[in-house]
A and B are shown apart, each in its own frame.
Chain A
Amino acid sequence: MVPIRLAAVRLRAHAQRNLLAAIGIAVGAAVLAMTAVGAVAVQDRAVQRALAGLQPSDRAVQAVWSGVPAQSNLSYPQLDHLARGALEPVLHHPAFAVEVFRQATWGGAFVNLGAVDGLSRWLVLRSGRLPHACTPSDCELVQIGGAPAAPKLPFLHVVGRATFRSGAPLSAYFAAAGANRPPILLADGVSAFTRTPLPDAPLIARTYGWVVPLAPGSIHDWDLAGLGSRIDQAQSQLEERSDIFSISAPLDTIAAVRATSRVAGERLLVLGGDAAVLLLGFAVLASTRLRRDYDATRRRLTWFGAGRGQVLLVAAAEVAAITIVSSIAGWISGSGAGALLARHLGAPGWLAVDHSLFTLRAFGIAVALAALTALVMLAALRLEKIAFGGVTLTAADVAALGALAAILLALARGKTDTSTLASGGGTGVVLLLLPGLVLFVLAVAAARVLAPLLRALEWAGRRGPPPVRLALLSLARSPGRVLLSVVFFVLSVGVALFAFSYRATLQRGETEQARYAVPAPFVLQEDLSKLVTVQQAAPHLGTPVLRDSGYVTANRGIDFTLLALPAAEIPRADGWRSDFSSLSPHALARALAPPVTPRLRGFDLPAGATRLTVPLMITGDRVGIQLNVLDPRGDFTLLSLGELGRGTHAPSVRLPPEARGGRVIAMRLSFPQTAAFVAGHRESGTALAVNDSSVGTLRLDRRFAGWIGTNGVRVHGTTLRYVVNRASDSILRPSEPLEGVPVPVVVSPDLARTAGAGGLLPLHVEDETIEGRVVGVARNFPSVDGDLVVADLPTWLTAANTIEPGTATASEIWLDASKRPRIPSLSIVSQRATEEALRSDPLARGSLALLLVAAIVGLVLAAVGVLLGVVGDRRDETGELFDLSAQGVTPAELRRHLVLRAEAVAAVGIGGGVVAGAVVSALVVAVVSVTAGAGTPLPPLVLVFDWPLVGIALACLVAGSTAAAGIAVRRLR
C-alpha cells in the first residue's frame, strides 16, 4: 500500500500539473462517447425513417386468433391474458386488442362489426362524435365508410362517422369500406364488447387481434434487436395453449430496416477510430510531459531501495487515477454532448445514451480503453529512450510495417459499401482500425524524417539571432524530446483534416448525388398510377429522353440502362463529372451525333385533315391493316383500317387530334383476329401447330411507292404480296437512309469489353436487337445506375422504330426551368428538392455534425498539445531558463525561444498532419463507399479538400497555439 499512498500524496500535491493531461484524455473519451451515442442515434433515426416508409399494415407485431368461441376451451379473458403475456416481451410495449366480425348481419344491418381498444387514437372524426367506452348494456359505435347502417339492437348505437387515421395498423382487420364492401362499425373497448349480448355471438366466427404498433417514435432501433427470436418464443408460448394463435410481424422488412440503420451507425466507427487514436496519442503526449517528474520520482524511489514493482505501482496508481477520473469525466460529458447531438438528430437523447453507453458492451469498451490509455501512458512514462534513425529497425518500425500490411489487406478487400457494412463480417473492425493504423504508420514515418528535418531547420537558422539558433539547436540536438509532440500534432491535425475533407467530400457528394439523380432542374416522367405519357401531358416541353432497359448476351449477359437523348443536350446535362470518361461531354456528343439528324420517313398527313382514306385493292385472304402515325408531339398513333377481304376498298378512319398533322411511317398487316382465335382453338385440341395464314396481294396508292416490306411481304412498286399468320405481323415501311448502319453508342467499360470487331455490339432492347457501335466509354452517366448505353435520341428512335415501327418514344422530359411546372398527371422530380432532401436527411446531418465535432476537437487538442508542451518545457527547463536569464537573455527573448520552439514543432506537425489527413481521407473515401445519408453513393464519392476551410482552420490553430504558448510563458521573467 505504500506506493498507493505515495501516489495519492503526489496526486494531491500536483493536481494542477495533472489537470491538463486529464482534460485531454477526457476530451478524447468524450468524443468517443459522443460518437457511440451519435452512432446509436443515427441508427435509430434510420429506423424511424424506414418505419415511416412502411405500409401501415406492416407497422405492427400482432397475435391473431380466429375462430368460434363455442369451439374453444379458452374464454376471451384467457385469450387476452395469454396474448398480452406473450407479446409484452417482444417489444416491451403493451398491445391493444381488436375484435372483428367480418361481413355479418346484426340487427338487420350487414356490416363489419368490431371493437378496438383506445379506438379514438386511430380515427379522424367526420361527423357526430366519437363513441364512449363500450359497456355490455350500452355500446356506442362509429361508422367508417359505406352507406349509413344501424343495427337494430338496443345496446348498439351509432354515434358518428369517421375515417381511419393515416398509419393506423388496422388494415389487416378492417379493409376500407368500398362500393362492394359493407360499412365498418366499431366500438371502443374489446373486453366490454365481447360481453355485449350479441345474438348467437358464441356461435359466430370472429377474429381477435392483439397489436403492438411499430409506429415511428414509439419503437427504437434497440427494441428491434433479437426481434425474430422473441417472436418465435411468443409464438411457441401461444401455440402451446391454442394452435389457432398466430403471430405476424414484418420481420424481413425490419431486417432490411436494421441493415440500413447498421450502415449509418457502422460508418461512424471511422470517427470512433479517430477519437481513439486522438485519445491514445494525447495520453502518450501527456505522459512525456510528466516524464521528467516521473524520472525524478523513480530515481528517488530507486535510491530509497524501492523494487521495480513498487516504482511501477506508484506510476501505475497515478496514471490509473488520472485515466480513471478523466475517462469518467469524459464519458459523462460525452454522454451529455451525445444526448444533445441525438436530440439535434431527432432521436431521444437520453434513451440513445442509455442504449449506447449504459450497456455492458459500452462499459467493457470504456474500461478497456481506459486501461489501454493507462497502459500507453505508463509505457510512455517508462520509455527509456525514443530514437529513430539509421537503418536500425525499432519496435515502432516493425509495428508500423505490420499496420501497413493490415491497411493493404483492407484495401485488397475492396470497397466497403452499404451491403458489406450491413452484413458486418469484420468490416466494422476494419473501419474502426483503419484511420488509426494509417495515422500510426504516418506518425512513425514522420518520426523517421523528423531528425533530419530538424537538423535541416537548425542549419537554415544558423544565421539567426541567438534565441532563434538556440531554439532550433535544442530541437535538432534532442529530436526525441519533441518527437511525441510532433507525432501528436500529426495525429490531431491529421484527424482534423480528415474530418474536414471527409465532411466536404460527403457534402459535395450530396450535391453530386442530387445532380446525378436528377440531371436537369426538373425531370418529368409518366406517373404509373395515371398512365398519361409525357407526350400527352407535356407535348413539346423540354428535352425528350428515352430511358429503357436492355441487355447484351455476351459475357453471360449484362443488363444495362439505355439512355437516349439528343446528342447536343449531353453537355447541358447536370451531374456530369470529368472522371466519368476520358472524353468530355462535348466529345461524347460529337461522337454520338449523326451527320444529319435522322427522321422517320413516310408521308405527311395534311395539316387540317381530320380523316384519312387509304384506297386499296386486295386479292387473296382477309387481312388486318393498321397504319403507324408519328404524331407531331413525338409519340405514335395506331390507326386501324379494319380487317379487309378480297376486293377494292377505301377505308377511312378518323384522325385523333394528336395524330393530325402527323406522318404515316408504316403499315402493319396482321392475321385476322377471328381466324387467329379459330386457329388457336383448333391448336388446343391437338399436339400439332396449326399453320393457318392469310395470303394475298395488296395494291396501294402512290403514297406507298418505294416502301419496303418485312416479315412475309414482298413489294413491287405499290403492289405487295403478303403472307401473315398468328406468329407475327408484317410491316410495310419506307426505306431509311441509315438503315443497316450501327447506332453510335457510349457504353460502360464492361459493355465495351464485350464489343466485337469495329466496336460493334448487338443491343437487346424491348424484344428488338439494335446493332450499336461503341464510340466512347463512360463509367457513369447522369441518372444511370449500373451499366449504361447512351445514344443520340433521334438516331436511336429512328433505328428502333425502323425495326418495329411505333415502339420507341421518349419516356421522360428533362426540363430546364426555374419554376416547377404544374402538370399533375406526371411524376415530377426536382433537382433542388432532391438535394434539399439529402441535406436535411437526419443521417447525413448527424454524420456531418460528428465530423465537424471531430475536426474541431482535433484542432483544439492540437492547441492543447502546444500549451502542454510549452507549460512542460517551462516547468522542466526552469533551471536552464534561469541560466539563460542570468546570461542576459531578456524575458521577451526567453518567451520567444519557447514559443518559437513550440511553433517549429507545430509547423512540422501541421505539415505532417496535412499529409496524414490527406492520406487517411483518400483511403477512407477509397474504402468506404457510403454517402452521408448511409446510402450507396451514385456517382461514387470523390475526395474533396475544402482548402479554404482547411486553411482557415489551420490558421486558427496556429493563432490559437501561439496564443496558448504566449499565455503559458506570459509570466516568464
Chain B
Amino acid sequence: MTAVEATDLFRIYPSAEGAAAALQGLSLEIEEGELVVVFGPSGSGKSTLLRILAGLDRPSAGTVRVFEHDLRTLRGRALARYRSRTLGYADQHYERALAPELTARQLVALRLDLLGVDRAESGRTADRLLERVDLAGKRNARPGELSGGQQQRVALCAALSHGPRLFIADEPTGELDAANAAEIYALIRELAREAGVTTLIVSHDPESAAVADRVVQVRDGRVSAVDGEAVVNRGGWIRVPEELLGRTTRARLEPRPGGVFVHTVAVEAVERAAPAEARPGAVVAEAVALTKVHGRGARATEVFHDLSLAFAGGAFSAITGPSGTGKSTLLHLLAGLDRPTAGDVRVLGTALSGLDDTGLALLRRSSIGLVTQGTDLVPFLTARETVELALALRGADAGGAASALAAVGLGELADQRVARLSMGERQRVAIARALAAKPALLLADEPTARLDEANARAVGALFAELARTTGTAIVCATHDPVLIEHAQVEFPLASLRE
C-alpha cells in the first residue's frame, strides 16, 4: 500500500522581494513501512516537503495524499485528527518541540494525554519509551537540564509515543555530533521497525543513508535522484550532478542505444589564482589554563578544566568532539561572549579578562568574526544588508558583501530577507558575513550543520583559502568530517579535557 503519494507539488512563497519557489513539481511515492531518507542541499525544498506532509503548509499546486488523507483538502478537525493520530513529526530544532516547562515524562506523555488516553496509561507508555532510549533516569528532568542528544531522544519518543502510521523527521541530527547522530538514526530505525511506521527523514548527513530503505535526492524543488539513479521529471527535466558536469555551461544530447550521451559544448572560464602557500603565523588566539563551570552548587557542571590551546594566524583549526564537550563554550570564551571560571583568553596579545563588556565588543568588532548557526540573524534584513551591516560596524567598504554572498552560492538570493531563507541558506549568510569582514580571528560554530556535503565542502575550501590568503586564524567547532578534512589542525576536545 502506498503511504505517501505526492504528485507535481509546487509551493510558491510570495515576498516583498518577489516570489520564491520552494517546490517546483516534486513527485514522490513511499510505500507503507518503508524508511526513506531525503537528501538535498539547503534551499532545495526538503523542509517544505515535510511541512506539507505534516499538514503545516499547503501546496500551491499538485496533489499530495498520505494514506487515505488528501492533504490539499484536509481542514479543521480532520487535519487535527490526521496530525494527532496518523502523523509523528520531529523537527530539526528539537528544542523548539520541547516545552521548557514540562519534564521529559510529561513531554512524552503529552501527545497521548491530548488524545484523551488515561493518564496512568500515558505515563506508563512514556516510561517505557524513555527506558527504551536510556533516559529512564532523566524522566523528571526538564529540557534545559538535558544535553542536545538527550533532548533529541526525548523529542523522538514524544513524536512516536502515540504509534503514528507516518513518522517524518527534519534534520533530526543537525545539531548533534557524529556519534550521537549515528545513535539517533539507529534508534529511529529500530523504533520504526518495531512499530511498523512509515518513515521519512530529511537530512544532509550521509550517515543517515545507512538506515534507509531508499535514498531520495531533492534539488531545486524536484526529486533529482533515487538511490543514485537520476529521475526524469515531468517535461523531461533531469538533473545531472555537478561532479559529472564540471563547469559545463552548454551541452549537446545525443541519443544512443539504451540511453542519452551528453556532449560538453561550452565550459565556464575560471581564473584560478595560484594557491598561496600555507605560512603558519603568530599566535592570534590563546586559551590559557581555561576552566569553565556551568551552574552553581550541586548543579554545577565542569565543561573543561585547565585547558590550554593556541590558534595561529593563517591556520584553519577544527575543534572536534561529541556534543557536550564544550566546543561552543570554548568559541564563546574565545570571542569574549562568555567569561571563564578560571584561566584567561588572549586574542592578538590582549588578555580578555582585562576588558569590560564594551572592550570585548570592540575587540570582536575589530578583530573577531563569529559564524553562528544562522538561526539568530536579524530576520528583517536581507542577506546583503546582513553582510553590509557587519562591514559597516567595522568601518569597512560595503562593496565586499556581494562577492562574499556569491562565494557561498547566495548571489541570487542576496536581496531576499533572511526570514525567507532556509536554515541552510541562513547559515551560509552567516559564513559570508564572516568571510567579508576578513577578521584576524574567525570562529565558526558548526558552520556546516545544515549544509549538504557539496556545500560543506565548498565552505571548508573557502575557510582554508581564507586562512591561507589573509592570515586569518580560523577556529571551527564541528563534527562534520568534510570540514575536518579541510582543517590543518584538529583539537579533539574530548581528549584534551582528559
User: Which residues of A are at the interface with B, using a C-beta cutoff of 8 A?
Assistant: 2-3, 6, 9-10, 12-14, 296-297, 299-308, 310, 466, 470, 473-474, 477-478, 879-880, 882-893, 973
Residues of B with C-beta under 8 A to A299: 96
Q: Does residue B389 face the partner (Cβ distance < 8 Å to A)? A: yes
Q: Across the interface, do B368 and A890 meet the contact criterion of CB distance under 8 Å?
A: no
Q: Which of B83, B115, B358, B370 contacts A886 (CB 8 A)?
A: B370
Q: Across the interface, do A891 and B80 meet the contact criterion of CB distance under 8 Å?
A: no
Which residue on chain A has the smallest CB distance to residue B434? A887
Q: Across the interface, do A304 and B376 meet the contact criterion of CB distance under 8 Å?
A: no
Q: Across the interface, do B80 and A473 meet the contact criterion of CB distance under 8 Å?
A: no
Residues of A with C-beta under 8 A to B450: none
Which residue on chain A has the smallest CB distance to residue B75? A308
CB distance from B13 to the nearest CB of A (A): 14
Expressed in whole angstroms, the Cα–Cα distance for A304 and B162 within the complex equals 10
Residues of A with C-beta under 8 A to B83: 302-303, 305
Q: Across the interface, do A880 and B389 meet the contact criterion of CB distance under 8 Å?
A: no
Q: Does residue B211 face the partner (Cβ distance < 8 Å to A)? A: no
Which residue on chain A has the smallest CB distance to residue B101? A13
Number of interface residues of B (CB under 8 A): 56
Q: Does residue B406 face the partner (Cβ distance < 8 Å to A)? A: no
Q: Across the interface, do B393 and A303 meet the contact criterion of CB distance under 8 Å?
A: no
Q: Across the interface, do A9 and B102 meet the contact criterion of CB distance under 8 Å?
A: yes
Q: Across the interface, do B365 and A307 meet the contact criterion of CB distance under 8 Å?
A: no
Expressed in whole angstroms, the Cα–Cα distance for A14 and B99 within the complex equals 12
Residues of A with C-beta under 8 A to B91: 303
**A300-B96 CB under 8 A given contacts A888-B393, A890-B358:** yes
Q: Does residue B390 face the partner (Cβ distance < 8 Å to A)? A: yes
Expressed in whole angstroms, the Cα–Cα distance for A305 and B81 within the complex equals 7
CB distance from A886 to the nearest CB of B (A): 4
Q: Across the interface, do A305 and B111 meet the contact criterion of CB distance under 8 Å?
A: yes
CB distance from B381 to the nearest CB of A (A): 7
Please encode chain B, from 103 to 139, with 1 for each CB lying within 8 Å of some chain A CB and 0 for all others.
0001000110111000000000000000000000000
Q: Which of A14, A306, A470 contacts B80 (CB 8 A)?
A: A306
**Residues 36-66 of B contacting A (Cβ, < 8 Å):** 54, 56
CB distance from A732 to the nearest CB of B (A): 99
Could you list some 23 contacts between A and B, CB below 8 A? A3-B114, A9-B102, A10-B99, A13-B101, A14-B101, A297-B99, A300-B99, A301-B114, A303-B89, A303-B97, A305-B85, A305-B115, A470-B389, A473-B381, A880-B376, A880-B379, A882-B337, A887-B389, A888-B366, A889-B361, A890-B361, A890-B365, A891-B361
Which residue on chain B has the smallest CB distance to residue A310? B114
**A304-B370 CB under 8 A given contacts A466-B389, A883-B378, A885-B361:** no
User: Which residues of B are at the interface with A, using a C-beta cutoff of 8 A?
Assistant: 54, 56, 76-77, 80-81, 83-85, 87, 89, 91, 96-102, 106, 110-111, 113-115, 158-159, 162, 335, 337, 357-358, 361-366, 368, 370, 372, 375-381, 385, 389-390, 392-394, 417, 433
Residues of B with C-beta under 8 A to A305: 80, 83-85, 87, 111, 114-115, 162
Which of B337, B366, B375, B393 has the most A CB atoms < 10 Å from its CB? B393
Residues of A with C-beta under 8 A to B115: 305
Residues of B with C-beta under 8 A to A884: 378
Q: Which of A2, A879, A882 contacts B113 (CB 8 A)?
A: A2
CB distance from A957 to the nearest CB of B (A): 28
Residues of B with C-beta under 8 A to A307: 77, 80-81, 84, 114
Residues of B with C-beta under 8 A to A12: 101
Which residue on chain A has the smallest CB distance to residue B337? A886
Residues of A with C-beta under 8 A to B76: 308
Q: Given A307-B77, A882-B337, list of 14 further CB < 8 A pairs? A: A2-B110, A2-B114, A6-B102, A300-B97, A302-B83, A466-B393, A477-B380, A880-B377, A880-B379, A882-B376, A885-B364, A887-B389, A887-B433, A888-B361
CB distance from B440 to the nearest CB of A (A): 13
Residues of B with C-beta under 8 A to A887: 364-365, 370, 389-390, 393, 433
Which of A300, A470, A478 has the most B CB atoms < 10 Å from its CB? A300
Interface of A (DSSP majority class)? helix
Q: Across the interface, do A883 and B377 meet the contact criterion of CB distance under 8 Å?
A: yes
Q: Across the interface, do B357 and A890 meet the contact criterion of CB distance under 8 Å?
A: yes
Which residue on chain B has the smallest CB distance to residue A481? B380
Residues of A with C-beta under 8 A to B114: 2-3, 301, 304-307, 310
Which residue on chain A has the smallest CB distance to residue B364? A888
Residues of A with C-beta under 8 A to B158: 304
Expressed in whole angstroms, the Cα–Cα distance for A886 and B364 within the complex equals 7
Residues of B with C-beta under 8 A to A891: 357-358, 361
Expressed in whole angstroms, the Cα–Cα distance for A473 and B54 within the complex equals 34
Expressed in whole angstroms, the Cα–Cα distance for A726 and B476 within the complex equals 126
CB distance from A312 to the nearest CB of B (A): 11
Expressed in whole angstroms, the Cα–Cα distance for A470 and B385 within the complex equals 10
The 4 residue pairs across chains A and B that have the minimum distance between CB atoms: A888-B365, A305-B84, A879-B376, A13-B101
Expressed in whole angstroms, the Cα–Cα distance for A307 and B77 within the complex equals 7
Q: Across the interface, do B335 and A470 meet the contact criterion of CB distance under 8 Å?
A: no
Expressed in whole angstroms, the Cα–Cα distance for A883 and B98 within the complex equals 23
CB distance from A293 to the nearest CB of B (A): 10
Q: Across the interface, do A296 and B365 meet the contact criterion of CB distance under 8 Å?
A: no
Which residue on chain A has the smallest CB distance to residue B394? A888
Expressed in whole angstroms, the Cα–Cα distance for A973 and B358 within the complex equals 8
Q: Across the interface, do A304 and B381 meet the contact criterion of CB distance under 8 Å?
A: no
Which of A3, A12, A14, A880 has the most B CB atoms < 10 Å from its CB? A880
Residues of B with C-beta under 8 A to A10: 99, 101
Q: Which of A2, A466, A973 contacts B357 (CB 8 A)?
A: A973
Expressed in whole angstroms, the Cα–Cα distance for A794 and B240 within the complex equals 113
Expressed in whole angstroms, the Cα–Cα distance for A296 and B102 within the complex equals 14
Which residue on chain A has the smallest CB distance to residue B122? A2
Q: Across the interface, do A9 and B101 meet the contact criterion of CB distance under 8 Å?
A: yes
Residues of B with C-beta under 8 A to A13: 100-101
Q: Across the interface, do A302 and B381 meet the contact criterion of CB distance under 8 Å?
A: no
CB distance from B401 to the nearest CB of A (A): 14
Residues of A with C-beta under 8 A to B365: 887-890
CB distance from B353 to the nearest CB of A (A): 15
Residues of B with C-beta under 8 A to A302: 56, 83
Q: Which of A14, A470, A883, A888 contacts B362 (CB 8 A)?
A: A888
Expressed in whole angstroms, the Cα–Cα distance for A14 and B100 within the complex equals 11
Expressed in whole angstroms, the Cα–Cα distance for A305 and B166 within the complex equals 13
Expressed in whole angstroms, the Cα–Cα distance for A297 and B96 within the complex equals 9
Expressed in whole angstroms, the Cα–Cα distance for A299 and B361 within the complex equals 35
Residues of A with C-beta under 8 A to B390: 887
Expressed in whole angstroms, the Cα–Cα distance for A783 and B372 within the complex equals 79
CB distance from B382 to the nearest CB of A (A): 9
Residues of B with C-beta under 8 A to A889: 361, 365, 393
CB distance from A255 to the nearest CB of B (A): 58
Which of B54, B98, B370 has the most A CB atoms < 10 Å from its CB? B370
Q: Across the interface, do A879 and B110 meet the contact criterion of CB distance under 8 Å?
A: no
Expressed in whole angstroms, the Cα–Cα distance for A887 and B366 within the complex equals 9
Expressed in whole angstroms, the Cα–Cα distance for A13 and B144 within the complex equals 13
Residues of A with C-beta under 8 A to B366: 888
Which residue on chain B has the smallest CB distance to residue A10? B101
Expressed in whole angstroms, the Cα–Cα distance for A885 and B332 within the complex equals 11
Expressed in whole angstroms, the Cα–Cα distance for A466 and B388 within the complex equals 10
Q: Which of B56, B100, B358, B433 contacts A892 (CB 8 A)?
A: B358
Which residue on chain B has the smallest CB distance to residue A478? B380
Residues of A with C-beta under 8 A to B97: 300, 303-304
Q: Across the interface, do A879 and B375 meet the contact criterion of CB distance under 8 Å?
A: yes
Q: Across the interface, do B102 and A466 meet the contact criterion of CB distance under 8 Å?
A: no
CB distance from B101 to the nearest CB of A (A): 4
Q: Across the interface, do A306 and B84 meet the contact criterion of CB distance under 8 Å?
A: yes
Which residue on chain A has the smallest CB distance to residue B388? A466
Which residue on chain B has the smallest CB distance to residue A878? B376
Residues of B with C-beta under 8 A to A9: 101-102, 106
Q: Across the interface, do A885 and B380 meet the contact criterion of CB distance under 8 Å?
A: no
Q: Across the interface, do B54 and A303 meet the contact criterion of CB distance under 8 Å?
A: yes
Q: Which of B80, B111, B378, B394 contacts A880 (CB 8 A)?
A: B378
Expressed in whole angstroms, the Cα–Cα distance for A12 and B100 within the complex equals 12
Residues of B with C-beta under 8 A to A882: 337, 372, 376
Expressed in whole angstroms, the Cα–Cα distance for A296 and B96 within the complex equals 7
